[in-house]
Structure 1
């Protein structure tokens, strides 16, 4: 930290900016100068004399160029602000300064936002900031915006740059006064959730304002307002990302809630004439959930000052907390309640779709024996698909494991696990390979190619989009048959009845007698839904497919969804991080996006089709 801002310090800063370098320096009394890269704007905050206001100062940390200082330091701050503004105005043709401040303690009658702008100059920029602030909605709080003159910013003792100098250099000076609703007026205590929400929304409003100014007034034309965010990421972000991943890597959730005695339980259930619920056994628990939770909440996520990354980490912590609770409650009634929070339930609309599918395809007709592909042959086919992906991304370190302790197919930690007794119809083999390898393994390694590990570990709720993509890939390669659609619909119906208190035997009998599934299929659906104590995850396959088809019908692209294990509403977050160069383009594409013969099907999706069209 420096004791005072000297001419020599100002020269060093402007020299660095002229060379295109980042500037990150401590200022006197705990102040901070941070410029991620040369940009034609600067945000500024001065702590009121004798009353440090760290809550309002924190608003600036979402931006790529800012100064936090003190009112008492105004005299020595002037040459620094002027040096930065003139240097950047010379580089970009114009420059913008926005000073943030909190309204005084007695805030009765004060609008939520007061914009201090030039009375005649640049009305479009003032209109933009007014419109963007007005669009901020907070529960129970009236959003009011008032536009006043910026004269107070240009008068002593606060003036940092005389009006004449601003005009000569093409510099716009704006002020934004916030009503400090995020603070208890009597005690000064902060409301952290309100502060966090307001901070993120004000950040977007100001970035859009700066983007508008830059597009018209400067030579710098970013592709999107989110590209104005910080590109360099603090070391604390990578450390927290690693810590969350380390906790996530300590357990394989799906394997831990899947029975290891499926065949024996099925034999026992048949022997009891389907009257007595089966007894499931599970793998021994390799973790102490309470200890892991302690570690989880010791991770200092509050130190992440980037709102986007902070949201991403808090969201992940919430999901890991729920998963650890479920593992603690495995094989008890409480397991189901956490599952409903984590994976959701079945709403009326989804139930209607599922029942519609089961009505449209009453039951399979078997005119001939199904051709089952031998497990070794299926493994060889899966290995060939992995080799195809590895050609695009040599770091793809995956393989296929044949195991006797799982049923069917499971991808875990980027590897495909195949049950020794897996019965895979030959006509479904390619579809299942695109489901497991071309979607689950592909997104795992696309996520792993990113600096942010959350993209391969999986964002909270990623399963819905993942399974929607995986089922859609089956249709694209021509392997989504009617039997498969019936099973996806049956899972939804079984989850619905599970959440209404239905027992294993009742769910099994309903699938067999009412929906005409054979005994073994009804068993598999019921086992998956009732495992662990009641797992509602199996409703996400059909729900994910319905939501994905709707998303594509709106004109959105399929490819960005494959960058990692994300959920649909994370797309704007991922896009922002790509604009900011925090994330990289994805290295691997699935076969169905590269095959010209499948282009008509992709066009069909854009035109808009429903689940029933897939039949």
Structure 2
């Protein structure tokens, strides 16, 4: 921190900008000048004299170029702002300054936002920010936007540039006054959730306004308004990302909620003539859920001033919290309630689709004596597919493990686990490989190729998109048969009845008698749904497929969804981080995207098809 803003200090800053460098320097009284890289704009906030307003100052930290200072330092601040404006205006052909301020706390009749701008100059830019602010929706708050001249910003003793200087250096000066609804008027205490919400929305409005200005008035032409965001990531971000990953890596959730005595429990269930509730045993917990939760909430996510990354981290913490609660509640009724929070339930439209599939395919279509592929042969094919992916990305360190304590196929931490008793129809082997290797392993390592660990660890709720992609890959390679669709539909029906109070035996008999599933298949579906105390995850396969087909019908591309283990509504956040050069392009593509013969099917998806067309 410095005591005064001197001429030599200003020269160092402008020198850095001329060399294309970042500026990150402390100012007197805890102020800060942060310019991520030379950009044709600057956002300014000055603490009112004698009344520091750190909450409003936080609004600036979501921007890539800003100064936080104090009104009593205006005399020192003025030459710094003038030098930055002149330097960057010379470089870009024009420059924009936006100053944020809070309306007085007692101004109850003040609009939520007031835009201060020149009366005649660049009306489209002023119009842009007004329109963007009007789109902001906040809970229990009416969004009102007023406009006024920027004369308040040009009056002594607080003006930073004169009208003549603005004209001479092609600088647009705007002001944005906020009504501080994020503060309690009586106590001054902050409402943190409202502050975060409002800060994120105002930051986007500012970026869109700057985008309008720079695209027309300057030589800088960003591809998207999000490209004006911060590219440099604070070290605290990587530390928190690592801390969250460290906690996630301490337990393998799906393995811990999957029975280890499946065959013994099945034999006992058969012996009881399918009347007695089976008893399942699980792996011992390798962690103390309470201790891990303490570590989880000791992670100082509030120190992340980037709204997008802060949101990702808070979302992940909530998910890990719920997972640890579920592990602590295994084999109790509470497990189901946490599962419904984590994976959702079955709503009426999805139930109707599932029942429609089961009505359209009332009987098993696969022949009972259909050829099965030996587990070792399947494992060898999977290893070949992993080698194919490794050719695209040498860092792919995966493999196949054949294990006695696994039921069916499970990908965990980027490796494929195959149960020794897994029954793999030969005609579905390629589909299963694309499901497990071409989707689950591929997205794990695409995520691992990114600097942000959340992309391979898995964003909260990623399973729906993951399983939707995995099932769609089965269809693309021609292995999604009608029996597979019956099974996905049956899982939805079983989850629905689980949440309505059906017991294990009731769900089993429903699948066996009403929907004509074989004894063993009905067991497998019911076991998966009732494991742990009631796991609603199995509804995400069909739900994810339905939502994915709708997404592709809207004209979106498939490839960006493979960047990691993300959920569908994360795509705008991921795209923002790509525009900001925080994330990198996808390094690995599945075999089906490189196969010219599959292009007609991809075109079908864009034209729009439903799950019933897949039958």
* TM-score tier (shorter): over 0.9
Residues 364-405 of structure 1, C-alpha deviation per residue, up to 9 Å, x if partnerless? 145562100011110110000000000000010000000000
Residue 493, structure 1, aligned to residue 493, structure 2: yes
Check 1:197–1:368 CA distance in 2 against 1; reply closer, same or farther (3 A cut): closer
- Which residue is equivalent to 1:399? 399
Aligned to 1:308: 308
What RMSD, in angstroms, separates the aligned Cα atoms of the two structures? 0.6
Q: Equivalents in 2 of 1:32, 1:108: separation in Å?
A: 31
Residues 464-543 of structure 1 aligned to structure 2 (within 5 Å) = 464-543=464-543
- Counterpart Cα distance in 2 of 1:465 and 1:112: 38
Question: Aligned partners of 1:5 and 1:367: how far apart in 2?
Answer: 82
Cα offset for 1:109?
Answer: 1.1
Aligned counterpart, 1:98: 98
Q: Distance in 2 between matches of 1:216 and 1:467?
A: 44
Instruction: Find the counterpart in structure 2 of residue 268 from structure 1.
Output: 268
Structure 2 counterpart SS, 1:44: strand
- Aligned residue number for residue 375 of structure 1: 375
Q: Distance in 2 between matches of 1:601 and 1:433?
A: 19
Correspondence list, 1:238-277, <5 A: 238-277=238-277
Map 1:180-195 onto structure 2 (within 5 A): 180-195=180-195
Q: After superposition, what is the alpha-carbon deviation per residue over 1:405-456, rounded to whole angstroms, capped at 9, x for unaligned?
A: 0111000000000000111000000000000000000000000000000000
1:72-95 Cα shifts (integer Å, max 9, x gaps): 000010000000000000000000
Q: What SS does structure 2 have at the residue aligned with 1:612?
A: coil
Q: TM-score, normalised by structure 1?
A: 1.00
**In structure 1, how many angstroms separate the alpha carbons of the residues matched to 2:507 and 2:367?**
28
**Residue 139 (structure 1) shift:** 1.7
In structure 2, how many angstroms separate the alpha carbons of the residues matched to 1:368 and 1:165? 85
CA distance in 2, matches of 1:173, 1:361: 67
Give the distance between the partners of 1:107 and 1:338, measured in 2 at CA: 44
- Answer whether contact 2:94 2:170 (CA < 8 A) is retained: yes
CA distance in 2, matches of 1:6, 1:154: 23
Q: Secondary structure at the match of 1:142?
A: coil
Q: Which residue number in structure 2 is paired with residue 296 of structure 1?
A: 296
CA distance in 2, matches of 1:529, 1:367: 25
Structure-1 residue corresponding to 2:598: 598
SS, match of residue 489 in structure 1: helix
Residue 197 of structure 1 deviates from its aligned partner by 0.3
Query: Which residue matches 1:571?
Result: 571
Alignment length (residue pairs): 615
Distance 1:218 1:368 in 2: 70
Distance (whole Å) between structure 2 residues aligned to residue 509 and residue 185 of structure 1: 61
> Aligned residue for 1:158?
158
Distance 2:133 2:366 in 1: 63
What SS does structure 2 have at the residue aligned with 1:614?
coil
Q: Distance in 2 between matches of 1:240 and 1:380?
A: 39
Offset of 1:547 from its aligned partner?
0.1
Query: Does 2:111 correspond to 1:111?
Result: yes
State the alpha-carbon separation in 2 of the partners of residues 87 and 334 from structure 1. Answer: 62
Q: Could you report, residue by residue, the CA deviation over 1:142-199 in whole angstroms, capped at 9, with x for unpaired residues?
A: 1111110000101101110110110111000000000000001111010101000000
**1:310-356 CA deviation, whole Å, 9 max, x = no partner?**
00000000000000000000010100000000000000000000000
The answer to whether the aligner puts 1:82 opposite 2:82 as a matched pair is yes
- Mapping of 1:60-459 within 5 angstroms? 60-365=60-365, 367=367, 369-459=369-459
CA distance in 2 between partners of 1:8 and 1:364 (Å): 81
Structure 1, unaligned stretches of length 5 or more? none
Give the 4+ runs in structure 1 shifted more than 2 A.
365-368
SS state at 1:478 partner: coil
Which residue number in structure 1 is paired with residue 582 of structure 2? 582
Query: Could you tell me the TM-score, scaled by structure 2's length?
Result: 1.00
2:612 partner SS: helix
Separation (CA, whole Å) in 1 of partners of 2:88 and 2:321 = 46
Listed one character per residue, the Cα deviations across residues 518-577 of structure 1 (whole Å, up to 9, x for unaligned) are 000000000000000000000000000000000000001100000000000000000000
The answer to whether structure 1 residue 555 and structure 2 residue 590 are counterparts is: no
Distance 1:432 1:271 in 2: 32
The separation in 2 between residues aligned to 1:426 and 1:172, in whole angstroms, is 68
Find the aligned partners of 1:369 and 1:495 in 2 and give their Cα distance. 29
Residue of structure 2 in register with 1:546 after alignment: 546
What is the rounded CA distance, in whole Å, between the counterparts of 1:77 and 1:88 in structure 2? 17
Q: Secondary structure at the match of 1:585?
A: coil
CA contact (8 A) 2:35 2:64 kept: yes
Aligned mates of 1:459, 1:105 — CA distance in 2: 39
Contact 2:398 2:415 in 1 (8 A): yes
Change (3 A) 1:9 1:365: closer
Q: Deviations over 1:92-128 (max 9, x none)?
A: 0000000000001211210000111001110000100
Q: 1:140 Cα deviation (Å)?
A: 1.6
In structure 2, distance between residues paired with 1:20 and 1:141: 42
Counterpart secondary structure, 2:172? strand
The aligned residue for residue 44 of structure 1 is: 44
Aligned to 1:58: 58
| Residues 81 and 160, structure 2, Cα contact 8 Å, conserved in 1 | yes
Alpha-carbon offset, residue 586 of structure 1: 1.1
Distance (whole Å) between structure 2 residues aligned to residue 153 and residue 336 of structure 1? 58
